[in-house]
Amino acid sequence: MIRKVRSHPTQNEDVIFERSSPGKIGYQLPPLDVPEVDPAAALGNEHVRASIDGFPEVSEVEVIRHFTRLSTWNYAIDLGLYPLGSCTMKYNPRINEAVARLEGLAWAHPYQPENLSQGAMEVCARLEEALCEITGLDAITLQPAAGAHGELTGILLVRAFLESQGNARRKVLVPDSAHGTNPATAATAGYAIHNIASNEHGMIDLAQLAAVVDEDVAALMVTNPNTLGVFEANIVKIAEILHAKGALVYMDGANMNALAGMARPGDFGVDVMHLNLHKTFSTPHGGGGPGGGPVAVRKHLEPFLPTPRLARSAGAFTWDYDRPQSIGRMRAYYGNFGVLVRALAYILAHGGPGLRNATVDAVLNANYLRHKLAPHFDLPYDGPNMHEVVFSDERQSAKGVRTGDIAKRLIDYGFHPYTVSFPLIVHGALMIEPTETESKQELDLFIDAMISIAKEIEQDPQMVLQSPHTTRTSRVDEVTAARKPILRWR
């Protein structure tokens, strides 16, 4: 039985260009207080364009209705559980939005003098301190714009450090359970990828690792807890194996929300890692960005961090551009500052003890789901899990229903689906991450929905295969979209 939702009409809405009529306007500029300038005279006739073909002409009320209507076609955390594994869809506190929009922060120009930027720089300084304490690492850059950008920064740091030792080496090891960004990043940094297979517990196999680590290996990229939600119990020994051959340990911090306040990568052998501020530290995903991907390092990698570095001089903050060993700039200016403000506000709201409590609740929620759903769905790795749990569709696929179909049916029950078909090492994966900001009531509704779908699959698999049945848009023809791409309105 579907308990979380019942349907109500949603408004239809055209693409904005279809609402346009010549002469409608949605803006008004103040009168010009200086003499007019003829564009052709000022810029040269050949540089001045004719009017922008096809550009919309609509009024303000139409713009508001347009986007409000479209918004109702989306699912969101604000509507309920959003259990995308590895994505950490948690509540985004609204105070963070408010403080990021304070005029002195939102309108700060990156080139305004440092003595007029001390407030912004203090945000950076306090966030740096907090993240170093949380990760147990010595230094950090806030420059990277997102997780994948942080990965690239981190691997370039590895490369620069090894080069300074005389040999950049050629290979980066990536477990087969890793996010796709890991191998893509290592390739962008000029490394060859060597995949390592997980063992029967979903972990890195020590013997296999020891056999492949040699003087040609630059680093291991490890996600911990890994994408199965399993803590790499041998992480200290893994780090020892790498370090013994002069290689480094890079940690993908996508799952740091399982560790904050409980364990610190700097204490278990990690040399360099990125954090996803939009995951662990609650900054909004916004339909796919912006994010924030700070990179924390041990002391020996500090000289290589991107330019500029935040420094203190005579009691004031300053940007240090004199960094001869730096890998250079990863982006213009200092980072996604507005995201940094939000992350700091989140850390201040929780405080040290609170971050630990959030971690406990995140792990408790995931374990609760595992215990309640285990009788109904196959658990390929039946060990204890941290912040997420991965099932497979083995039982349901016997009826011809795959993980992607169960996901679509969940939509009818009023939930966003879990992560489908990832990690790749689980055939037909259902990767579920509830996060700490879900109540027991919401989790129980989700459990009921999943059990109900499992029963439906036994009785009427066809109905599940054709789901969702209640959305304004039914299954979308992705094949035609890819065969005959239409990427713009005409």
Partner 1 sequence: MRYLPKSDAERQEMLAACGLTSAEALFAQIPAEARLQRPLDLAAGISEYEIADYFKSLAVKNAGALPSFLGAGVYRHYRPVVVDAVVSRGEFLTSYTPYQSEISQGTLMTIFEFQTMICQLTGMDAANASMYDGSTAVPEAAMMAARITGRRGALVARSVHPEYREVLRTYARYQNLPVEEFGYDAQSGQIDFTDLDAKLNAEIACVILQSPNFFGIVEDARKAAELAHSKGALLIFTFSEAVSLGILEPPNADIVAGELQSFAISPSYGGPFAGVIATKEKFVRQLPGRLVGQTSDTNGNRAFCLTLATREQHIRREKSTSNICTNQALIALMATVFLELYGKQGLRELATQNLAKAHYLGSLTRPRFTGPYFNEFVARPPAEPAEVNRRLLDRSIVGGLPLERFYPELAGTMLLCATEMTKRADMDLVAEALA
Partner 2 sequence: MTYPGNYRYTKEHEWVDQQGDTATVGLTFHAQQELGDIVYVDLPKVGAKIEAGKRFGSVESVKAVSDVYAPISGEVTEINETLASAPEKLNQDPHGAAWLIRLRVDKTGEAANLLSAADYQKYVGTES
User: How distant is the alpha carbon of residue 15 from its chain centre?
Assistant: 29
Report whether 107 contacts 317 (CB < 8 A): no
Between CA 438 and CA 334 the distance in angstroms is 34
* Burial class for 116, CB neighbours closer than 10 Å (0-12, 13-18, 19+): exposed
Cβ at position 116, least distance to partner 1 in Å? 4
Residues 425-484, interacting with partner 2 (CB under 8 A): 478-479, 482-483
Partner in contact with 287, chosen from partner 2, partner 1, none, beta carbon below 5 to 8 Å by kind: partner 1
Report whether 252 contacts 226 (CB < 8 A): no
In terms of CB distance, is 52 or 476 closer to partner 2? 476
Between CA 387 and CA 41 the distance in angstroms is 63
Write out the two tokens for 274. Answer: 């990125």
Partner in contact with 33, chosen from partner 1, partner 2, none, beta carbon below 5 to 8 Å by kind: partner 1
In terms of CB distance, is 74 or 458 closer to partner 1? 74
Give the helix/strand (H/E) hosting 297.
strand 295-297
In terms of CB distance, is 47 or 483 closer to partner 2? 483
Cβ at position 210, least distance to partner 1 in Å? 19
Cβ at position 284, least distance to partner 1 in Å? 5
Between CA 486 and CA 304 the distance in angstroms is 44
Cβ at position 481, least distance to partner 2 in Å? 8
What b/e string do you get for 121-153 counting C-beta neighbours within 10 Å, with b at 16 or more?
Answer: bebbbebbebbbebbbbebbbbbbbbbbbbbbb
Cβ at position 148, least distance to partner 2 in Å? 19
Angle at 283 between CA 253 and CA 316, to 5 degrees: 85
In terms of CB distance, is 315 or 485 closer to partner 2? 485
In terms of CB distance, is 49 or 483 closer to partner 2? 483
Residues 148-207, interacting with partner 2 (CB under 8 A): none
Show the binding pattern over residues 313-342: x = contacts partner 2 (CB under 8 A), - = does not: ------------------------------
Report whether 47 contacts 13 (CB < 8 A): no
Amino acid at 299: K
Partner in contact with 364, chosen from partner 1, partner 2, none, beta carbon below 5 to 8 Å by kind: partner 1
In terms of CB distance, is 41 or 479 closer to partner 2? 479
Between CA 397 and CA 375 the distance in angstroms is 16
Cβ at position 184, least distance to partner 2 in Å? 13
Cβ at position 318, least distance to partner 1 in Å? 14
Looking at residue 17, the DSSP 8-state letter turns out to be G
In terms of CB distance, is 383 or 398 closer to partner 1? 383
What b/e string do you get for 206-222 counting C-beta neighbours within 10 Å, with b at 16 or more?
Answer: eeebbeebeeebbbbbb
In terms of CB distance, is 68 or 398 closer to partner 1? 68
3-state SS class at 161: helix
Cβ at position 289, least distance to partner 2 in Å? 22
Give the footprint of partner 2 on this chain (CB under 8 A).
478-479, 482-483
